[in-house]
Amino acid sequence: MSYPHIPLEEAITALRAVLPLDAPADVILSRYFRENPMLGNKDRAFIAELVFGVLRRKRSLETATGKGTPRQLALAWLVRVQGMNMRQLEPHLRGPELDMVPQIKALDLAAQPLAVQWDVPDWLAERWLAVYGAEAATRLAQALLRPAPLDLRVNTLLAKRDEMLAVLNAAGMSAVATPYSPVGIRLADKPVLAKYKPFLEGRIEIQDEGSQLLGYLVAPRRGEMVVDFCAGAGGKTLLLGALMHSSGRLYAFDVSEKRLAKLKPRLKRSGLSNITPQLIASENDTRIKRLAGKIDRVLVDAPCSGMGTLRRNPDLKWRQSPDSVAELSAKQTAILAAASRLVKPGGRLVYATCSLLPEENEQVVEAFIAANPRFVLKNAAEIFRQQHIALDTGEYLRLNPAEHGTDGFFAAVLEAS
């Protein structure tokens, strides 16, 4: 990158739009790019890198600049994270900013409180410390500050992983098999895949390896009736459909029409014919009640704080709070209770979140089991072992980027009697 020509003013304008944090950062940034169509790909890449870079390191950058303005935070990111020196920065600096650069460089991060070192709010630092202890929490925080790799899932209905690895590597994409998911591929870079032929043909989908592993806990069989209770844009739905070899019936429920609309083109590409997307009004919709006691397997990937996805969505740590987590916990409890009514005797219920907080995870499951004695907890590691997946995090699935290189996921497998 030629530093004198970076679109710094445009990046600061974009950052200023994002920083009120009253909507998801990626949504605001997409709108900014739509409103500024003259920006080239390189400029967009730099702007996105700066905006998300500042969101990742906001706490330490604010400490270095004394609660800085968007402009000062952007400069601090260039200095502290990108390592730009005074000569490179000078064309972009105004008056007193020349004196600010040494002060920004001088911040000794190791002397700061853990929340500043980890670049998180105080409440989150306290939770992590209580759950993981200082050493593991530090490793987790550092892992969450790094951008996530690009993981793909091979659609086994249309392709094999070895074949797709060969195709991707031949195209210069530096692809390797994921360590845990039998259908996952990890790319070294982040190529744009929207117009790439194997993607358009439905042979590969973008999906984090952790998300793929949830499908193997559900482990649906051919001919079964299965429900993805909070299907969203359908990444896990498509995996479940492929695991069922496009047989049986798979319902994709969601309360958001917008999210389900994103499933339609993906479904068309996938070649699957066993999926029925259904918009529901709430977890107590009459469509759900009609299926009570009839379903073999139910996946509840519950709405959550997203604290396991901070590599991709760093704005979430500033947009969530103890109050919002408590609200989510109540919502998760209600959704799990409603979804459980679908499961027939001998059926399987998988509860999952992309959170790292016990109040959204273990605590929800333990309270559910106490209130619903017909469900018993099954060992997640044993279910993986049956499918030749070498991953043991105990009875529950607990993934985090520091240990497993995936997003942070939690899952519990429950069996109905």
Give how many domains the chain has, as a whole number.
Answer: 3
pLDDT (tens digit, 9 = 90+) per residue, 75-84?
A: 999 999 999 8
Contact 357, 307 (CB under 8 A): yes
**Is residue 198 in some structural domain?**
yes
**Is residue 19 in some structural domain?**
yes
pLDDT of residue 1: 43
Q: Are strands 175-177 and 225-228 parallel, antiparallel or unpaired?
A: unpaired
| 68 & 178 share domain | no
pLDDT of residue 232: 92
| 272 & 301 share domain | yes
Tokens in use for 405?
């290189």
pLDDT of residue 98: 82
| 326 & 308 share domain | yes
CATH code assigned at 165 = 3.30.70.1170
| Residues forming a β-bridge with 397 | 411
Which amino acid, one-letter code, is at 198? Answer: P
| 309 & 357 share domain | yes
pLDDT (tens digit, 9 = 90+) per residue, 64-119?
A: 999 889 999 999 999 999 998 888 888 888 888 888 888 899 999 999 999 999 99
Distance CA 120, CA 56 (A): 9
Which of 112, 132, 160 is the last residue before a domain boundary?
Answer: 112
Residue 407: count of CB within 10 angstroms of its CB: 25
**Is residue 138 in some structural domain?**
no
Which of 159, 183, 206 is the last residue before a domain boundary?
Answer: 206
**Is residue 129 in some structural domain?**
no
Which of 59, 87, 112 is the last residue before a domain boundary?
Answer: 112
pTM: 0.94
pLDDT of residue 2: 41
| 256 & 395 share domain | yes
**Is residue 123 in some structural domain?**
no
Distance CA 350, CA 383 (A): 12
Location of structure tokens 């947009």: 319
CATH code assigned at 234 = 3.40.50.150
Distance CA 346, CA 417 (A): 5
Nearest to 206 by CA among 144, 262, 255: 262
| Residues forming a β-bridge with 176 | 186
**Is residue 135 in some structural domain?**
no
**Is residue 131 in some structural domain?**
no
| 409 & 260 share domain | yes
**Is residue 141 in some structural domain?**
no
pLDDT of residue 96: 83
Angle at 27 (CA atoms; ends 328, 69), nearest 5 degrees: 95
Location of structure tokens 């607990």: 398
| 104 & 191 share domain | no
| 286 & 388 share domain | yes
pLDDT of residue 368: 98
Tens digit of pLDDT at every position of the chain (417 positions): 444 478 999 999 999 999 999 999 999 999 999 999 999 999 999 999 999 999 999 999 999 999 889 999 999 999 999 998 888 888 888 888 888 888 899 999 999 999 999 999 999 999 999 999 999 999 999 999 999 999 999 999 999 999 999 999 999 999 999 999 999 999 999 898 989 999 999 999 999 999 999 999 999 999 999 999 999 999 999 999 999 999 999 999 999 999 999 999 999 999 999 999 999 999 989 989 999 999 999 999 999 999 999 999 999 999 999 999 999 999 999 999 999 999 999 999 999 999 999 999 999 999 999 999 999 999 999 999 999 999 999 999 999 999 999 999 999 999 999
pLDDT of residue 85: 84
| 27 & 156 share domain | no
The domain of 277 spans: 209-416
| 321 & 177 share domain | no
| 196 & 301 share domain | no
pLDDT of residue 5: 76
| 225 & 195 share domain | no
